[in-house]
Amino acid sequence: MEFKHTSVLLEETIESLNIKPDGIYLDGTLGGGGHSYEICKRLSDKGRLIGIDQDDAAIKAAGERLEEFGNKVTILRNNYRNAKTALQEIDVAGVDGIVLDLGVSSYQLDEKDRGFSYRYDTPLDMRMDRRQTLSAKEIINNYSEMDLFHVIRDYGEDKFAKNIAKHIVAAREDKEIETTGELNELIKAAIPAKMRVQGGHPSKKTFQAIRIECNRELDVLKESLNDLISLLNPGGRLCIITFHSLEDRIVKTAFKRAENPCTCPPEFPVCVCGKKSLGTCVGRKPIIPSDEEMEYNPRSKSSKLRVFEKGGQA
């Protein structure tokens, strides 16, 4: 299956990066290479694009898509949480811009055997990096009822989390839950019929929650932001596209802390903690997709772009 993915907020992200033709740019979630392609188009022969992804299918697809740019492009199979070390290994100390397009790609959702989607009845998987051992199947069959409840409530923000966890645990006592279809039926049974007709597919929130847990998406994001900001050259920008409130909150909080890290009590007349601002949040509010984009790409509906600019002279 071809790796197809429509890049969300593409123009807005490219514009926000303030691309310098001779600069070095990092795409930490390479995917199909949509954002990277547009960055490469704007680079001179001295410019460079480094793409990171942990999905083998994404690496292959992006490699083919970016082939025309030759040695301007370096692709690494890794997780963006290791970006600092990965860049050091290829002698890159700093970059002029970074893009993170979080969440799951259209390709991953549409490729049936990856088990990301509730639309197909396939083996439970959801691993973005197929080298890891933890899968959705392990989570569904081995987590305690309390742990499942917390995952579904916290990452899926589903008000029926308790009942869904209860149904899963009761069902797996008879037999192991192996497919997305089986999980779908359990979720459906746990949600009152009148509530199932509201707010999209009943499985959407639980599948999102299990995927986030399986790939440790929020932990990776939290643990990476300081490193990514430190990688930026003066004037460089970090552009992050999020798809739900938990991700957006993490990014917003980290950017605000980087902008104003002072820990002195508000009544102190001058700062004595010595913590200096690392830069500024570009715009007070996130950038959201246009009505037109939401119409032709429904998956963009919940997306938000936040931008941080490193301090100092570019």
> Hey, which bits of the chain come out as E strands?
24-27, 48-53, 73-77, 95-101, 232-242, 279-287, 304-310
For the chain, the average pLDDT equals 92
Q: 266 vs 206, which has greater pLDDT?
A: 206
pLDDT tens figures, 75-98: 999 999 999 999 999 999 999 999
Identify any residues that bridge with 239 across adjacent strands, giving them in sequence order: 99, 307
CATH of domain 112-215: 1.10.150.170
Segment 93-113 shows an average pLDDT of 84
Residue 1 has pLDDT above 50, yes or no: no
Task: Concatenate the DSSP letters of all residues of 255-279 into one string.
Answer: HHHHH----S-TT-SS--S-PPP-E
pTM over 0.75: yes
Segment 57-77 shows an average pLDDT of 94
Residue 218: what residue type? L
pLDDT of residue 8: 87
pLDDT of residue 218: 96
| Ramachandran category for residue 31: left, alpha or beta (phi over 0 → left; psi -120 to 50 → alpha) | left
pLDDT tens figures, 154-184: 999 999 999 999 999 999 999 999 999 999 9
How far apart CA 126 and CA 214 sit, in angstroms, is 7
The two tokens of residue 131 are: 């080298």
pLDDT of residue 106: 66
Say which DSSP state 175 is in: S
The dihedrals phi and psi of 96, each to the nearest 5 degrees, come to: -95, -5
Dihedral Cα 223, 226, 227, 230, nearest 10 deg = 180
List CB contacts of 112: < 8 A, sequence separation 6 or more: 120, 122
Report the Cα–Cα distance between both ends of the chain, in Å, rounded: 42
Are 312 and 19 in contact by the 8 Å Cβ rule? The answer is: no
Asked if 10-107+221-310 and 112-215 have one fold, the answer is: no
pLDDT of residue 107: 67
Are 4 and 106 in contact by the 8 Å Cβ rule? The answer is: yes
User: For the chain, which residues make up each domain, given as ranges?
Assistant: 10-107+221-310, 112-215
Maximum separation of any 2 CA atoms in the chain, in Å: 66
CATH number of 10-107+221-310: 3.40.50.150, 3.40.50.300, 1.10.10.10, 3.40.47.10? 3.40.50.150
How far apart CA 53 and CA 243 sit, in angstroms, is 18
Residue 111 has pLDDT above 90, yes or no: no
pLDDT tens figures, 145-158: 999 999 999 999 99
